[in-house]
């Protein structure tokens, strides 16, 4: 079974089995147009449990609306092509207003069956409703079996933590005269790709739980994405502000400490005090005498401000987490940092 899943894909396998089961049940119940329930299954298998649940509820609601509008239209206008056109003119705007977009096509197919048999008797209305119940119901039940992405998420988070730390340490190397711009660019590309992958995983995992709130993973990725943009912005100040001076050496040490805090579970007050000490030391230095010195001084000051902002993003993220997300996210982070 596992080999079959890998070869065909879990979603494809579920769709095929669900479609066959839907036809089988429809035929056993003696429903006309039994194959239509298989088409509904194909449209109902989604990527997450929540999407499947929401789609199933929407399909049932849109079916009730479509059958009501269709039966009233056929009774008043008759079973003609024009009547079906009038039905669409009424049903589509209502479906759009009620956000039943995904139900427009399958429900209109059900209504077309009424046109084909030229009847809106309760038996035929029940026949069409049962097709939707079977198709949407099987699609929803199949989607209750979803593989967990938490293991992949934790592995990705561990890699993101390492990449963020490496980027900051490379900036520290820059201020100490050890420039590696090609490595830095490669790290940024790797980090960006990993963040995008993790964001997709986080959203998918959050959508596969009805009772657990796992939005903390997505919030974590957003926080790291924001920090990466700041790191990209800081590069130009690092290049402008580099001169082998006492200030550059101080900033290199400061970056190393911020790198440790960036990956820590909490932001310690000592680092903020260290940043403030640097600012005070910079104020006590002699004023810049040349334009070049002034530009260097301004770049260093802006660079330190961005370092502070990196820590602020982390602090705001931590404070925004509720107790459930703290527990689900903090546990893997603790494992990562205890192993480091």
| Distances 94 to 65, 81, 120, 235, 246 between C-alpha atoms, Å | 9, 20, 21, 53, 70
Selection from 263, 261, 283, 281 nearest residue 272 by Cα? 261
327 or 194, which is more confident: 194
pLDDT at 336 over 70: no
- CA–CA separation, 266 and 91 (whole Å): 54
Helices (H), the chain: 2-8, 10-28, 35-44, 49-77, 81-97, 104-117, 122-143, 150-175, 181-206, 215-241, 246-262, 269-284, 291-320, 323-339
Average pLDDT over residues 213-222: 79
89 or 9, which is more confident: 89
Whole-structure pTM value? 0.70
Selection from 63, 65, 102, 69 nearest residue 85 by Cα? 69
- CA–CA separation, 73 and 84 (whole Å): 8
**Number of neighbours of residue 308 by Cβ within 10 angstroms:** 15
243 or 255, which is more confident: 255
At 74, the pLDDT band (50, 70, 90 cuts) reads very high
| Mean pLDDT score across all residues of the chain | 82
| Domains, the chain | 2-143 (no CATH), 150-339 (1.20.120.940)
Give the list of residues 6+ apart from residue 202 with CB closer than 8 angstroms, or none.
Answer: 149, 153, 214, 217, 218, 220, 221
At 7, the pLDDT band (50, 70, 90 cuts) reads very low
Range with lowest mean pLDDT among 18-32, 107-121, 281-295: 281-295
At 127, the pLDDT band (50, 70, 90 cuts) reads very high
pLDDT tens for 245-277 read 667 777 888 888 777 776 666 666 677 777 777
Query: Token pair of 255, please?
Result: 């970056």
- CA–CA separation, 317 and 319 (whole Å): 5
pLDDT tens for 128-151 read 999 999 999 999 888 887 777 778
212 or 193, which is more confident: 193
Selection from 231, 220, 221 nearest residue 307 by Cα? 231
């Amino acid at each position: 079974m596992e080999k079959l899943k890998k070869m065909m894909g879990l979603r494809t396998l579920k769709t095929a089995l669900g479609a066959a089961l839907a036809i089988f049940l429809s035929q056993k119940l003696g429903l006309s147009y039994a194959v239509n329930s298989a088409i509904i299954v194909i449209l109902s298998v989604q990527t997450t449990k929540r999407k499947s649940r929401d789609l199933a509820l929407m399909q049932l609601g849109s079916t009730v609306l479509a059958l009501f509008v269709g039966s009233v239209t056929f009774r008043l206008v008759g079973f003609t092509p024009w009547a079906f056109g009038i039905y669409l003119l009424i049903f589509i705007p209502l479906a759009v207003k009620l956000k039943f977009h995904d139900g427009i096509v399958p429900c209109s197919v059900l209504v077309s069956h009424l046109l084909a048999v030229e009847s809106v008797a309760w038996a035929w209305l029940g026949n069409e409703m049962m097709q939707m119940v079977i198709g949407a119901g099987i699609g929803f039940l199949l989607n209750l079996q979803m593989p967990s992405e938490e293991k992949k998420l934790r592995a990705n988070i561990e890699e993101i933590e390492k990449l963020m730390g490496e980027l900051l340490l490379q900036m520290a190397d820059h201020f100490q005269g050890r420039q590696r711009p090609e490595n830095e660019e490669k790290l940024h590309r790797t980090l960006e790709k990993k963040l995008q992958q993790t964001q997709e995983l986080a959203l998918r995992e959050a959508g596969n739980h009805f009772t657990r709130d796992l939005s903390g993973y997505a919030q974590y990725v957003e926080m790291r994405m924001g920090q990466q943009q700041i790191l990209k912005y800081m590069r130009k100040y690092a290049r402008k502000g580099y001169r082998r001076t006492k200030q550059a050496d101080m900033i290199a040490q400061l970056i190393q400490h911020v790198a440790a805090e960036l990956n820590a579970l909490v932001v310690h007050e000592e680092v903020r005090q260290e940043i403030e000490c640097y600012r005070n030391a910079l104020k006590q230095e002699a004023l810049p005498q040349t334009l070049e010195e002034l530009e260097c001084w301004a770049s260093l000051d802006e660079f330190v401000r961005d370092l502070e902002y990196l820590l602020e993003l982390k602090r705001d993220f931590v404070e925004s987490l509720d107790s459930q997300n703290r527990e689900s996210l903090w546990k893997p982070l603790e494992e990562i940092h205890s192993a480091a």
